[in-house]
């Protein structure tokens, strides 16, 4: 419940008006920090222009809801990434914003010369036999992961080689005791063998490491240069551009609508280095101090770059050291994954039958791509579902059906899309019928007698024959009556679809195509059908982000782009409170939210917590770059430095601690009822713990 700002809080405000120290509001889960923050923002809005900032879409949704509930409609409320994008656009009006898969495509093009063998030059001293490079796709993935971490830590390309050289000197000039008993007992067998090295082998690994650092730094620099040259910006680049613009424009006259007298930020424990720098720049010139609200116990992103230590400065303004009372959970272990999904759905159904609204119930997952089995189990009980969080939309059946329809309208010879349409619920053709459609056309004379030989002069690939036979009707005489009727409908639909695409705005045309070309699961009140429509809304929102334009050429370009990025697609589906829907959400998607009934399944080792897999490339302040693979090594496939750094920083333990924080945060989302489940037999929990068994004890 909201408590009005106390005299102490007001005193802090008055004191910091002069000193401009950051105010940090600390509180446990559901202890009232958001209400306190909104209250302070409302008070500040009476004195000047005020901004509320959320970290993530769910956090921003909560801020907006709390502010509007209290009649505060005169404050600006932004998600931090959206705010940075709008400010970055002021620095360059022609700037185009891209998503993560598109940014990866830019990075991939930056590496083209390296993989083509034209860089480094042959007379260069750089040796290309470095870690992971024998497998270009794998190297690119690992390099991209490292570059993203370097960007979040604000380490520029020019600093990578310098820091790598300094770190290499720190390690190789004075090697640690690689035969230490604690080190040998900590690492596994593969890493243990990497510690058996002599001076010559360490020197060779040193040279390879520096060469790798030069290659990675060059890739990083080319990527940044490509973004700047093409006027592109992903989320990270938008934060950097916005920060630079704010630092150069500190007065109200130049900042215009982005000058604020007071700034308040919720869930600040999830901010990385660039976010903190952006907020500090945003607060330059403001009349009141930057105010951050945080729950340090809920900080579960340190390995992803969150900088909790940046919250240590400023003036403390704690609400309460206590957290809200924990909800006693129901704890169960099921025999297998399907049984677990059924039990979870049954428990949700019981809560709804007992009076809990569906929208007040949620299933929280560590990985949203595991949602399908829970969705199907809930649909069987007549409960509609909606997702929230990051997931690959193109792993959903309904989304793939809808996307296939667009691809085929754009290109009638898109073989995989057309096959999916023919096998789908709308057409439902048999394998024999599809084989006939892929075959050679019947001659006109043969059709008079009902059978006959196919023409023997058609040697085209089946992919071309299938599309041509559908559009021309060349094999219609060989089809059964029902199949021929359905193929005739599809042919007519293709022509009408192209006409719709050519005459309507693209998003409206896509909605019309789906409405006519996709088979519903049932009546509009059916749980599966309601859930399908929500999934198509998410796909349509993803298409709108692409800003492809209108017309058939735009549709073709859109389909080609989405095909290209589908493998890496991680669409962010913001949380939306939908009446009558149970939310299946990624834990990060419900930051700042709480529900009456919460189910947390898959609490077995390997799922939640996830197994720890050491990154192929580590980068630390002390030791610089450390590669896992020992390229060219004769004794071991791992490098000694990677094994030592892994031990020195206790990365596995830090990963498990982060998973524990995430689990605790998920539990804290429940207000009344909580279900914890796992499937299969528990492991011994030596390297990866069993959270469910620990909780039972």
pLDDT value of residue 371:
95
Q: Give the lowest-confidence range in 54-63, 272-281, 439-448.
A: 439-448
Q: Is the pLDDT of residue 527 over 90?
A: yes
pLDDT value of residue 633:
65
Instruction: Report d(CA 244, CA 260) in Å as an integer.
Output: 17
pLDDT value of residue 552:
94
Q: Is the pLDDT of residue 123 over 60?
A: no
**pLDDT interval class at 318 (50, 70, 90):** low
CATH code given to domain 158-214+325-392+574-697: 3.40.50.300
583 DSSP β-pair partners: 362, 386
Q: Which has more pLDDT, 323 or 642?
A: 642
pLDDT, average across residues 83-100: 93
pLDDT value of residue 114:
82
pLDDT value of residue 9:
35
- Under 8 Å between Cβ of 304 and 275: no
Instruction: Report d(CA 149, CA 307) in Å as an integer.
Output: 12
Q: Give the lowest-confidence range in 232-246, 548-562, 682-696.
A: 682-696
Q: Which has more pLDDT, 637 or 206?
A: 206
pLDDT, average across residues 534-551: 92
Closest by Cα among 695, 667, 691 to 28: 667
pLDDT, average across residues 62-73: 88
Query: String of b and e for 588-607 (b: at least 16 CB within 10 Å)?
Result: bbbbbbbbbbbbbbbbbbeb
Instruction: Report d(CA 367, CA 123) in Å as an integer.
Output: 47
The DSSP symbol for 440 reads P
**pLDDT interval class at 1 (50, 70, 90):** very low
pLDDT value of residue 443:
56
pLDDT, average across residues 207-215: 91
**Average pLDDT of every residue of the chain:** 87
Instruction: Report d(CA 532, CA 581) in Å as an integer.
Output: 12
pLDDT value of residue 449:
39
CATH code given to domain 7-93+235-316: 3.40.50.300
pLDDT value of residue 546:
87
Count the neighbouring beta carbons within 10 Å of the beta carbon of residue 436. Answer: 20
pLDDT value of residue 696:
80
pLDDT value of residue 308:
75
Q: Which two tokens stand for residue 537?
A: 């809304």
Q: Is the pLDDT of residue 612 over 60?
A: yes
Instruction: Report d(CA 495, CA 491) in Å as an integer.
Output: 7
Instruction: Report d(CA 393, CA 535) in Å as an integer.
Output: 8
pLDDT value of residue 338:
96
Same fold, 7-93+235-316 and 394-569: no
Q: Give the lowest-confidence range in 253-257, 330-334, 400-404, 564-568.
A: 564-568
Helix (H) or strand (E) holding 5: none
pLDDT value of residue 15:
34
Q: Is the pLDDT of residue 347 over 70?
A: yes
pLDDT value of residue 433:
94
Q: Is the pLDDT of residue 624 over 80?
A: yes
Q: Is the pLDDT of residue 603 over 50?
A: yes
* Range among 179-188, 205-214, 312-321, 349-358 rated most confident: 349-358
- Under 8 Å between Cβ of 197 and 635: yes
pLDDT, average across residues 347-360: 97
pLDDT value of residue 31:
79
pLDDT value of residue 455:
40
Read off the pTM: 0.87
Instruction: Report d(CA 512, CA 536) in Å as an integer.
Output: 12
**pLDDT interval class at 557 (50, 70, 90):** very high
3-state secondary structure 246-281: HHHCCCHHHHHHHCCCEEEECCHHHCEHHHHHHHHH
> Which class would CATH give 394-569?
mainly alpha
Instruction: Report d(CA 576, CA 62) in Å as an integer.
Output: 10
pLDDT value of residue 244:
95
17-38: per-residue pLDDT in tens? 434 678 888 887 777 888 899 9
Q: Give the lowest-confidence range in 100-104, 131-135, 637-641.
A: 131-135
460-511: per-residue pLDDT in tens? 566 688 888 999 898 999 999 999 999 999 999 999 999 999 999 999 999 9
Query: What residue segments make up the domains of the chain, in order of their start?
Result: 7-93+235-316, 158-214+325-392+574-697, 394-569
pLDDT value of residue 451:
36
pLDDT value of residue 630:
82
């Amino acid at each position: 419940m909201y408590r009005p700002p106390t005299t102490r809080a007001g005193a802090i405000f008055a004191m910091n008006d002069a000193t401009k120290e950051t105010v940090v509001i600390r509180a446990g889960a559901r202890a009232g920090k958001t209400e306190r923050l909104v209250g302070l923002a409302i008070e500040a809005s009476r004195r000047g222009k005020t901004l509320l900032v959320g970290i993530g879409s769910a956090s921003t949704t909560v801020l907006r809801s709390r502010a509007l509930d209290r009649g505060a409609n005169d404050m600006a409320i932004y998600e931090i990434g959206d705010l940075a994008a709008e400010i970055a656009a002021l620095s360059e009006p022609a700037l185009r914003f891209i998503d993560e898969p598109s940014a990866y495509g830019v990075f991939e093009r930056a590496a083209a010369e390296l993989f083509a063998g034209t860089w480094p030059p042959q007379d260069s001293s750089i040796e290309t036999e470095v870690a992971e490079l024998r497998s270009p796709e794998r190297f690119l993935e690992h390099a991209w992961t490292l570059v993203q971490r370097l960007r979040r830590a604000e380490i520029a390309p020019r600093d990578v080689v310098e820091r790598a050289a300094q770190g290499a000197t720190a390690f190789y000039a004075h090697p640690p005791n690689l035969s230490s008993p604690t080190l040998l007992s900590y690492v596994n067998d593969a890493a243990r063998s990497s510690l058996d090295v002599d001076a010559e082998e360490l020197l060779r690994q040193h040279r390879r490491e520096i060469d790798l650092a030069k290659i990675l730094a060059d890739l990083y620099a080319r990527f940044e240069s490509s973004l700047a040259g093409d006027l592109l910006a992903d989320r990270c680049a938008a934060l950097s551009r916005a920060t630079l613009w704010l630092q150069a424009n500190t007065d109200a006259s130049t900042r215009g609508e982005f000058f604020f007298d007071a700034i308040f930020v919720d869930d600040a424990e999830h901010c990385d280095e660039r976010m903190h720098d952006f907020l500090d720049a945003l607060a330059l010139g403001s009349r009141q101090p930057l105010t951050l609200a945080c729950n340090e116990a809920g900080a579960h992103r340190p390995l992803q770059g969150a900088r909790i230590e940046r919250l240590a400065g400023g003036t403390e303004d704690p609400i309460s050291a206590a957290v809200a009372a924990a909800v006693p959970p129901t704890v169960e272990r099921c025999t297998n994954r399907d049984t677990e999904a059924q039990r979870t759905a049954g428990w949700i159904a019981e809560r709804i039958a007992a009076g809990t609204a569906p929208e007040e119930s949620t299933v929280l997952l560590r990985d949203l791509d595991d949602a399908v089995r829970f969705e199907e189990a809930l649909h069987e009980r007549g409960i509609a579902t909606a997702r929230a969080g990051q997931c690959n939309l193109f792993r959903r059946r309904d989304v793939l059906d809808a996307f296939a329809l667009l691809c085929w309208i754009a290109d009638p010879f898109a073989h995989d899309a057309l096959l999916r349409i023919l096998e789908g619920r709308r057409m439902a053709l048999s394998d024999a019928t599809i084989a006939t459609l892929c075959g050679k056309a019947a001659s006109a004379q043969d059709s008079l007698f009902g059978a006959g030989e196919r023409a023997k002069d058609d040697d085209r690939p089946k992919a071309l024959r299938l599309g041509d036979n559908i559009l021309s009707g060349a094999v219609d005489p060989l089809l059964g009556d029902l199949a021929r009727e359905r193929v005739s409908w599809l042919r007519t639909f293709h022509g009408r679809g192209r006409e719709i695409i050519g005459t309507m705005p693209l998003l409206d045309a896509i909605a019309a195509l789906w409405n006519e070309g996709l088979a519903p699961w049932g009546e509009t009140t059916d749980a599966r059908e309601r859930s399908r429509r929500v999934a198509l809304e998410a796909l349509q929102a993803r298409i709108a982000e692409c800003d492809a334009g209108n017309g058939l050429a735009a549709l073709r370009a859109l389909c080609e782009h989405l095909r290209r990025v589908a493998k890496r697609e991680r669409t962010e589906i913001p949380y939306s409170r939908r009446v009558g829907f149970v939310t299946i959400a990624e834990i990060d998607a419900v930051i700042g939210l709480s529900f009456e009934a919460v189910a947390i399944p898959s609490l077995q080792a390997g799922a939640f917590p996830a197994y720890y897999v050491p990154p192929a490339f580590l980068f630390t302040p002390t030791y610089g770059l450390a590669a896992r693979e020992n390229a060219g090594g004769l004794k071991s496939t791992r490098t000694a430095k990677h094994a030592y750094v892994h031990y020195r920083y206790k990365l596995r333990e830090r990963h498990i601690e982060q998973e524990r924080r995430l689990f605790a945060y998920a539990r804290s989302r429940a207000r009344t009822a909580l279900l914890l489940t796992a499937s299969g037999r528990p492991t011994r929990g030596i390297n990866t713990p069993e959270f469910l068994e620990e909780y039972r004890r």
